[in-house]
Amino acid sequence: MRLVLLGAPGSGKGTQAARLTSEFGVPHISTGDLLRAAVAEGTPLGLKAKAVMDAGHLVSDATVLGMLEHRLGHTDVAAGFILDGYPRNLAQADALDQLLQRLGQPLSAVVKLEVPIEAIVERTALRARAEGRTDDTPETVRKRLQIYQEQTAPLADHYAKARLLKVVDGIGQVEAIFSRILEVLQQPQVVTD
């Protein structure tokens, strides 16, 4: 199972990725985790990323893709992976498509968790209180959602055209959402002319 999870910040991707990892026995790969690990380990790409982040800039797509390619070369991804947080835009999706084609590991599916904006704002407010997170104010969340709408939401069309997109209602109990994901992953791909 080679899967990409899409959804707005706060849609539950991380929660569902953990369950899918357990279900399918494949690693959950978060590009944010890859960046932090590479910086902590002092790898060449990590040092490059740290210099960029320390200067207050975003790490380039090429650097992130390089870290992802390195991670996909590990033996634990032979049976597949679950990508969370990447791709974030169409350029990254194209680069990922090319990388996976070169590695002979095409995506099995892309699951988009569909959650209304107000539900996300409410969820993140609860998370902020429970975890003491000061970065999850309603204003900050709305800004993240605006960036998601502009940059990441178009990925749904990209993957729908590739006949990989599976949209799942992300509202309800965690277990119910997980069951919906498993159900859509078991559906055959629909091929049309």
Q: Per-residue pLDDT tens for 46-104?
A: 888 888 777 777 788 888 898 899 899 999 999 999 998 899 899 999 999 999 999 99
192 domain-assigned: no
> What is the CATH classification number for the domain harbouring 173?
3.40.50.300
Q: Of the residues 48, 50, 71, 88, which is catalytic?
A: 88
The per-residue pLDDT for 190 is 53
**Residue corresponding to tokens 């997109």:** 165
pTM here is 0.86
Any catalytic annotation for residue 180? no
Instruction: Establish whether 129 is a catalytic residue.
Output: no
Q: How far apart are CA 90 and CA 122, in angstroms?
A: 28
Structure tokens belonging to residue 182: 């498993």
- Asked if residue 67 is part of any domain, the answer here is yes
193, part of any domain: no
**Residue 13: active-site member:** yes
> Does the residue 104 lie in any domain?
yes
Q: What single-letter amino acid sits at 103? A: L
Residue 121 lies in a domain: yes
88: annotated active-site residue? yes
State how many domains the chain has.
1
pLDDT classification of 189: cutoffs 50, 70, 90? low
Domain membership flag for residue 191: no
Q: Which domain holds residue 67?
A: 2-186
92 sits in the region (left: phi over 0; alpha: psi -120 to 50; else beta) called alpha
